[in-house]
Amino acid sequence: MTDPAPVLDDDPFSDDFLADPYPRHERIRDAGPVVRLSRYGIWASARHEQVFAALTDWRTFSSASGVGLADFRKEKPWRVPSLLLEADPPGHTQVREVMAQVLSPRRVRGLRERFAPVADELVSDLVERGSFDAVRDLAEVFPLRVFPDAVGLPEEGREHLLRYGDMAFNGFGPRNDLFGRAMADAEQVQAWITAACRRENLAAGGLGRDIWAFADTGTITQEQAAMLVRSLLSAGVDTTVYAIGNALAALTAHPGQWARLHDDPTLAKHAFEEAIRYESPVQTFFRTTTRTTDLGGVWIGPGEKILLFLGAANRDPRKWENPHTLEITRRAAGHVGFGMGVHGCVGQQIARLEGDVVLSALAERAATLTPTAAPVLRPNNTLRGFSSAPIQVDKATVRRR
């Protein structure tokens, strides 16, 4: 007993959609729990209940055919598939456990003492300036100041990291202009990334070498070790740049919320979490069905691509009160901005650490954030965020705590 799915002709990767996704998400959510997108001949869901259900059922909703539009069983992927992202259990489980150990809560706690002073210094310089670009001067600067060192990457050529992230995330979409532009010079960027993943190019004491240590004990092969370092470099830079930029833009647009955060900077981690719900850096991922299934009363056959709108699920009024408002003290738990289930972001504690130290440093020092121009969108087939968000800050005079 299933309902026919509504057919919509939206292109979620078009300039118009990417520029103003939220009203379009609403239309898709309201059309039904699962819809058909005729442009691409795929299924899609923008509701929290169905997105969550698909993410937590890897047996039915597989990642092994790719988590972008391309179906790896029919099209050659643009890069060797990730052992983590583009794989299912049991193969996935083994490498995931290695990554979970490398990125353990203990390890991440140890990174705080290195990350926090960098955030403090960067933020205090910017606040002294009085006005700065929240994206160009902070969101794009901070992760690149801490993460490559934490991994142990070579100094030379780190500018390739953002370009590679741009390739990876545009690469999940269709072969549109965004895809094509991101892939210009792909070979040069990929050559640097491949070299950076080699054991001899990774500094002792870094996360990269920690991954390689599992090759030394025979838990994984050398080829797997290099590929897992590649995962860190694919997923670990642009995501945090966009997340911090989006959090700053959202807090600038909600001055009352900034006032609360300034009043109690210990709320920074809640503010960051809520910002990920409110303006999710990773907007979409796909799955491929392995068998016939009923999702929200809609019958889907095997071997079908389904687009999961994470960013829309995170604003579904069926799940959230006032979903289109940033409320830093709300319980944002249950958002799917980091995914959910076996593929839920393995680096989420590092992402949260980066967001926390930046937002708490700024909350301590800036009494107000005022936009001096509208944020400028940086369109991407998967990521939502800005290339610029100019702000003016009022320096706090006396701290209350």
102 token code pair: 């490398």
Site for ligand OVM in 231-270 (CB under 6 A): 231, 234-235
Residue 272: CB minimum distance to ligand OVM, A: 19
User: Of 84, 161, 178, 250, which lies in the binding site for ligand OVM, with binding defined by CB under 6 A?
Assistant: 84
Determine the residue type at 43: W
Task: Tell me the torsion sign for CA atoms 253, 52, 268, 391.
Answer: negative
Reported for 73-78, long-range contacts at CB under 8 A and 24+ positions apart, including other chains, are 73/303, 78/167, 78/171, 78/183, 78/186
Q: Nearer Cβ to ligand OVM, position 231 or 280?
A: 231
Length of the chain: 401
Q: Do residues 29 and 255 make contact, with C-beta atoms less than 8 angstroms apart?
A: no
* Distance from C-alpha of 50 to C-alpha of 218, rounded to nearest angstrom: 39
Spell out, one character per residue from 196 to 235, where the chain touches ligand OVM: x when CB under 6 A holds, - when not: -----------------------------------x--xx
Residue 254: left (phi > 0), alpha (psi -120 to 50), or beta?
beta
Q: Nearer Cβ to ligand OVM, position 82 or 289?
A: 82
* Distance from C-alpha of 12 to C-alpha of 46, rounded to nearest angstrom: 11
Number of residues that bind ligand OVM (CB under 6 A): 8
Q: Nearer Cβ to ligand OVM, position 243 or 251?
A: 243
Residue 80: CB minimum distance to ligand OVM, A: 10
Residue 78: CB minimum distance to ligand OVM, A: 12
* Distance from C-alpha of 398 to C-alpha of 401, rounded to nearest angstrom: 9
Q: Nearer Cβ to ligand OVM, position 144 or 367?
A: 144
Q: Nearer Cβ to ligand OVM, position 84 or 340?
A: 84
Site for ligand OVM in 3-42 (CB under 6 A): none
82 binds ligand OVM (CB under 6 A): yes
Which helix (H) or strand (E) is 173 found in, with range? none
Q: Nearer Cβ to ligand OVM, position 82 or 388?
A: 82
Residue 85: CB minimum distance to ligand OVM, A: 4
Only segment of 33-41, 80-88, 111-119, 143-151 that touches ligand OVM (CB under 6 A)? 80-88
Q: Nearer Cβ to ligand OVM, position 122 or 228?
A: 228
Site for ligand OVM in 155-184 (CB under 6 A): 168-169
Alpha helical stretches, state H, 130-221: 142-151, 160-170, 177-183, 186-196, 207-216
275 token code pair: 């910002």
* Distance from C-alpha of 141 to C-alpha of 119, rounded to nearest angstrom: 10
Residue 121: CB minimum distance to ligand OVM, A: 29
Backbone phi, psi, residue 93, to 5°: -60, -40
Residue position matching structure tokens 């910017």: 126
Of 286, 227, 201, 236, whose CA–CA distance to 95 is shortest?
227
Q: Nearer Cβ to ligand OVM, position 46 or 161?
A: 161
Which residues in this chain contact ligand OVM in the complex, by CB under 6 A?
82, 84-85, 168-169, 231, 234-235
